[in-house]
Amino acid sequence: MEPIIAGRDLRKAWGSTLVLEHADFLIQAGDKVALVGPNGCGKSTLFRLIAGETRLDLGDLVMKQGLRYGYLPQVPSTAPETLVREILSAPSPEVRRMESDLAELEAWMARKDAWEAADAPARMARYEALHTALGAARSRSDIVNDPILNDLGVGEDLIDQRFDSLSGGEKSKVFTARALANAKEKDILLLDEPTNHMDIDTIEWIEEYLLEIDAAVLLASHDKFLLDAIAEKVIEIDHLRTLEYDGNYTEYRVQRDAFQRAREAQRKRHFEEVQRQLAIIEEFKSRKVYNQVLSRKLAIERLQRERLELAPSAARAFRLTFRTGGSGYGVVRAVGVSKTLGGRLLFADVDIDLAKGDKVGLVGPNGCGKTTLLEVLIGRQPPDAGSVARGRNLTIGYFAQEAEELDFSRTLIEEIRSIRHPPPPEEWARGMLGRFWFKGDTVHGRVGNLSGGERARLALAKFIAQDYDLLVLDEPTNHLDIESQEIVAGALQAYPGMLLVVSHNRSFLNEVCNKIAVIAHQRLAVFQGTFRDSWAAAKMADFMATEKKKPRYRVKRVVKDWETGNSYHSGDVIQLTGAETQAFLRLLRWAEAEGRVERLED
């Protein structure tokens, strides 16, 4: 069977930085493939090559004729003034390719000798077929009213907004809808970090969607749960090349570790054999048996010319340890806490206790008030009702989302020294930065010039330089690759104090937390156990409550059901009957989280 995409001996550099060299890979129809490797290894470059956004320096990238694909770039290159409507109705890659092919054929038809060519009838047949197919392809390109907008929570009021006015989550939803729509009619989906800015419900919907379609998938993600669920094959970028492994992400890690041990053993045997031959040469020299010395030297030269296969690269680890303060057994207790923001109730009657050893993951849909609840619990915001009590000498460390605590105007060394007064010596600051891969002259660079992953590492470096009894972390793994996430998770597992963390990364929550607090329907419920166990219990509790009493919702701002075309306006009441589609229930979930509807309690 012919592959739908084949890369042979690929080479690509950005300026003087080589990203791919001698890279080979195959993707067959229906393959579900995880593309893995550390940040900066070339994953996004490979996506861009396949999508035609950039060109190879050397090598061959062969794709099935007429390949139909959806593409989600990690960083969309869209003009700020572009309207969401224009993005959702823009020509698909398939349409742009057809238009290009038609233009080439029309240029050929304009030649005087065109009709004398032996393949003229075949070209005209292709021209007519392309014209016929182009209309249908253009129709599929316009997804302004596609039901997938329900699933991803793209509201009607976003449609005529400028792209630069959207939040990070809204931008991700628009482009994910663009990539996933009409997947049944596509050969492959190219998805570069589809879970960025997405909440857990949406990530699980994406997971289910990808499992149900027949199209091939090439997927890069930092969510190990997603990679394990979807992937049947893994392509790793390492040493500028691509290596293929069968199985999902967990199985790939087992195979890779075994491969690494085998290569290290081979190198050790090779080194020991060279040392043995050198020792024999020295023995022969001492006995003046020079005719044997030459043959042994030739044997060593042959050994040294042997090209040993490279072992997989070792992960770039940084040293991370969280230490507790000296206040002993601090506690945080919230009773009957409520909070309204901009006239919208985020949560009410919240009760939660945190004691030493508690490691609580806080989850819920985007917009439900997770960050606000964190800040109420640690005293950065006052509650509107209820009370929050904190231990008198409790020391609290707060890791803000998107490294908000960093001063972008400072150099790295100024930023790390700013944590103490008077500032610690420069040698100490350099040592701390070195633990997080910031070395040499890079410590004098501006914080504002760092990438997202580099800022995350710098924020962690600042954070661990002090001792805290309670760690409050808001999306601490954003921009970190899987290996870096595992280092953070390992440090938090060993931390003896209290932890409260917001994250949408399911594998991270599962590794770190012993309780999960869920915000749903403006209330908070706490479940014991790992994320897997707690999330299953939370979903079952919500299902049982819905089955027992069909809820009603009052509309506060217009909500459009893209599946039916119906719009619900302020004051309307939506009564669930049990016959609703999953897409409509997802629509209500995100509408409630954004304050568009409120659940009525009878």
For 497-541, give the DSSP string: SEEEEE---HHHHHHH-SEEEEEETTEEEEEES-HHHHHHHHHHH
Going across the sheet that includes 241-246, the strands are 69-72, 188-192, 216-220, 32-36, 233-238, 241-246
* pLDDT class of 309 with cuts at 50, 70, 90: low
* pLDDT class of 41 with cuts at 50, 70, 90: confident
Encoded amino acid at 139, one letter = S
Which residue in 469, 474, 458, 527 sits closest to 495, CA to CA?
Answer: 469
Of 309-323, 406-420, 468-482, 485-499, the poorest mean pLDDT is in 309-323
Cα angle 528, 531, 532 (rounded to 5 degrees) comes to: 105
Q: For the range 427-436, what are the long-range contacts, defined as Cβ-Cβ under 8 Å and sequence gap of 24 or more?
A: 432/461, 432/465, 433/458, 433/461, 435/318, 435/319, 435/320, 435/461, 436/318, 436/460, 436/461
pLDDT at 300 over 90: no
pLDDT value at position 259?
81
DSSP string, 162-198: BGGGS-HHHHHHHHHHHHHTTGGG-SEEEEESTTTT-
Largest separation between any pair of C-alpha atoms in the chain? 104
pLDDT value at position 574?
92
pLDDT at 229 over 90: yes
As a whole number, the mean pLDDT across the chain is: 87
pLDDT value at position 342?
85
Q: For the range 17-24, what are the long-range contacts, defined as Cβ-Cβ under 8 Å and sequence gap of 24 or more?
A: 18/240, 19/45, 19/240, 20/45, 20/46, 20/237, 20/240, 20/241, 20/242, 21/240, 21/241, 22/240, 22/241, 23/59, 23/237, 23/240, 23/241, 23/242, 24/241, 24/242
pLDDT value at position 328?
53
Sign of CA dihedral 283, 288, 292, 296: positive
Instruction: Indicate the SS3 state at residue 129.
Output: helix
Cα–Cα dist 558/156, whole Å? 8
Going across the sheet that includes 5-14, the strands are 17-27, 5-14, 58-63
Of 325-339, 345-359, 514-528, the poorest mean pLDDT is in 325-339
Q: What are the percentages of helix, strand and coil residues in the chain, rounded to 5? A: 40, 20, 35
Instruction: Indicate the SS3 state at residue 158.
Output: helix
Which residue in 426, 430, 462, 427 sits closest to 443, CA to CA?
Answer: 430
pLDDT value at position 550?
81
The whole-number average pLDDT for the span 363-389 is: 93
Contact call for residues 568 and 555 (beta carbons, < 8 A): yes
Task: Count Cα neighbours of 450 within 13 Å in the Cβ-side half-sphere.
Answer: 28
Contact call for residues 366 and 168 (beta carbons, < 8 A): no
Contact call for residues 593 and 156 (beta carbons, < 8 A): no
Q: H helices of 555-595, where? A: 582-593
Residues contacting residue 582 through CB under 8 Å, at least 6 positions apart: none
Give me the helix-helix angle, 249-286 and 290-305, nearest 10°.
Answer: 160
- Helix H or strand E encompassing 599: strand 597-600
For strands 552-555 and 573-575, give the pairing: antiparallel
pLDDT at 102 over 60: yes
Encoded amino acid at 200, one letter = I
Q: Tokens 């440090």 map to which residue?
A: 491
The whole-number average pLDDT for the span 460-472 is: 85
* pLDDT class of 543 with cuts at 50, 70, 90: low
pLDDT value at position 6?
96
Count of other CB atoms within 10 angstroms of residue 116 = 8
* pLDDT class of 140 with cuts at 50, 70, 90: confident
pLDDT at 401 over 90: no
Mapping DSSP onto H, E and C, the string for 204-272 reads HHHHHHHHHCCCEEEEECCCHHHHHHHCCEEEEEECCEEEEEECCHHHHHHHHHHHHHHHHHHHHHHHH
Beta-bridge partners for 5: 27, 63
Contact call for residues 12 and 56 (beta carbons, < 8 A): yes
Beta-bridge partners for 237: 242
pLDDT value at position 61?
94
Cα angle 386, 390, 391 (rounded to 5 degrees) comes to: 150
pLDDT value at position 315?
61
Which residue in 508, 552, 556, 563 sits closest to 530, CA to CA?
Answer: 508
Highest-pLDDT range among 93-97, 265-269, 553-557: 553-557
Can you give the length of the chain in residues? 602
Q: CB burial class (10 A; 0-12, 13-18, 19+) of residue 438? A: buried
pLDDT at 326 over 70: no
Count of other CB atoms within 10 angstroms of residue 541 = 14
pLDDT value at position 291?
65
pLDDT value at position 312?
67
Highest-pLDDT range among 64-78, 301-315, 333-347: 333-347
pLDDT value at position 452?
75
